[in-house]
Amino acid sequence: MVHNKDSPIVDIAYLARAEHRVPTLVALTKRPRSRSELCELAGVSSSTIRRTLDEFDDRFWIRKDGYQYVATRLGEAIASGMEDLIERVETERKLRHVWHWLPDAISEFPVEMWSELTITVAEPDAPYRPVKRFELLLRETTTLRFLRPEVALMDLCFDVLYQLIDEGVDMTLIDRPECHMYFISTYPDRSSEMIQQDNFTVLEHDDLPLYGIGLLDDSVTISCYEKNSGTVHALIDTDAPAVREWAKSVYETYRAGARPVELQQSVE
C-alpha cells in the first residue's frame, strides 16, 4: 500500500526506518547539541546526521542555535509521541508471549497501564529468571499473601521464605491440596517448623485459577504457570493501585472459600 505523502504515516515511517532518528530527535529535546555530538551519540556518520537534521528542519522539528541544534515545540511533541509508542510496543512484545496465561482482567485495564507492568519471562537460556525476580521482591516485603504460591516454594525462594517467617513476617498461602503435599514431602523438617509459627498460615482450595497472585507490601505479582504444573513461564509485578485493588479482591474471594490445612499431622 502506498500512502499519500501528506499522510502522518509517512513521517512515522521516516522515523522508524533508521534506528538513530528517534534517539537523535529525543536528544535534541533535552538540550542544544552540535552535529559532532549527535554523530557520537547516534553512532552514525557526519553525512548521515547532516541528512537527518535537514529532514528534521524541513519538518520544523528543530531549529539551529548557533553551531548547535535544538528541538522546537513541534519536535518535542513528535519525540514524546514516538517515545510513548516505542514504550507501548516494547511492553506489548513482552505481553504477547504470556497473554494466553494472563487473567482476563489484565486486558480490561487501560492500555496506558501496561507500561506500569514489569514483565519477566523465562527464556531457554534463563528458565529461572521469573523466580529470581520474585526472590528479589520477596526479600523486601514484611507481609505476604499468596494465592497459588508455587513460585515462592521453589528452591531459589524457599530459603528466603523460611528466613522471613523466622523474622516474624506475616504470611498466608492458599494453594491446592496436591501442592501442600509436595511442600511437605520436599521440605519435611522445615515445613514442620514453619507451620508451628503463629505468623504462618496455610490454607487450601480445590478450585484455584491458573495463575498466581502475590500481595506484598508495595507490589502485586501475577505468576503465569503452565497448565497442570507449577512451571513458571513469566512473572508480572506492578505497584499500580488499580491492579492491586483487583488482586486484593480476587485473593479475598478465594480466601473466603479456603479451609485450614492440618499440615502438622501430615508431617508427623
> Looking at domain 8-84, which of 1.10.10.10, 3.30.390.30, 3.30.70.330, 2.40.50.140 is its CATH number?
1.10.10.10
Q: Give the whole-angstrom CA distance, residue 25 versus residue 41.
A: 11
Report pLDDT digits (tens) over 159-207.
Answer: 899 899 989 999 999 998 888 777 777 777 887 788 888 999 999 999 9
CA 214 to chain centre: 14
Q: What is the DSSP string of 144-209?
A: EEEES-GGGGSHHHHHHHHHHHHTT-EEEEEE-HHHHHHHHHHSHHHHHHHTTSTTEEEEE-SS--
Cα 236 from Cα 121, distance rounded (Å)? 9
> In Å, how far from its chain's centre is CA 211?
15
Candidates 179, 173, 183; CA nearest to 214 is 173
Q: What nine digits make up the cell of 4? A: 499519500
Where do the domains of the chain lie? 8-84, 97-267
pTM: 0.75
- pLDDT tens, residue by residue, 38-69: 999 999 999 999 999 999 999 999 999 999 99
Tell me which CATH code domain 97-267 carries: 3.30.870.10
Tell me the C-alpha distance between 35 and 54, whole Å.
Answer: 11
Selection from 103, 202, 90 nearest residue 153 by Cα: 202
